[in-house]
Amino acid sequence: MNQHIHITIDGPSGAGKSTIAREVAKALGFLYVDTGALYRAAALGVLEQGVDPKNVHEVCEALSSLEVSMKLSPEGQRTLLNGRDVSGRIRTPEISTAASFIAQYACVRSFLLDVQRDIAASNSVVMDGRDIGTTVLPNAQVKLYLTASAKDRAFRRYHELRTKGESVSFDEVYREILQRDERDMNREVSPLRRPPDAIELDTTGNTLEESIALVLKTVKERLRLVL
């Protein structure tokens, strides 16, 4: 392969982007990049400094003492904050909410943009997030927009959290999904949008296996057209 292939998967919270992107990358032999983990790591760093994620000025100032990066391991992608592996610590509702707030800020998106592009510059990747096809990798060969109904996404997230031992109610998770959608779609900087040239896939009612198969089939068909 004489060029790196970039596949972007954008979509709202709880659409299954990360799990599906990881499996698609594995099937293709590409590097999977979970950009949401970068924002979560930055959010953790902000919280550890006692900064309110809703205070844009303090968040922007806090970034100067943070270094967010990724490394590959036999278990897959690991997320580092100032050299510490925080892959497990960032998967909580508190961090998810904080990440959603700081992702609205231009300083945070600029802070993490180069990290994402540097990874893609030297690898064939499957990268998922909210603005990958529109902002981070606008020239990607394959762009997908993965979605599902809010209730379907809330049910998946609720099941995931309960499986991890989190004490949450479905109503709480559903409310957070709706609030997250509102923030992501209406933020001033890089709002969640379907890239004009992206293929939209609605996975409402699908099992995870069905969604993975659908995305992989779509990606392979698209790659045959563009390569």
Do 189 and 106 form a contact (C-beta atoms < 8 A)? yes
Q: How many domains does the chain have?
A: 1
Residues of the chain with pLDDT under 50: 1-2
Residue 1 lies in a domain: no
Residue 190, pLDDT score: 83
Residue 225 lies in a domain: no
Q: Which amino acid is at 117?
A: R
> Would you give the end-to-end CA distance of the chain in angstroms?
10
Residue 115, pLDDT score: 86
Residue 226 lies in a domain: no
pTM, two decimals, is 0.83
Query: Domain of 103?
Result: 6-220
90: domain CATH number?
3.40.50.300
Residue 2, pLDDT score: 47
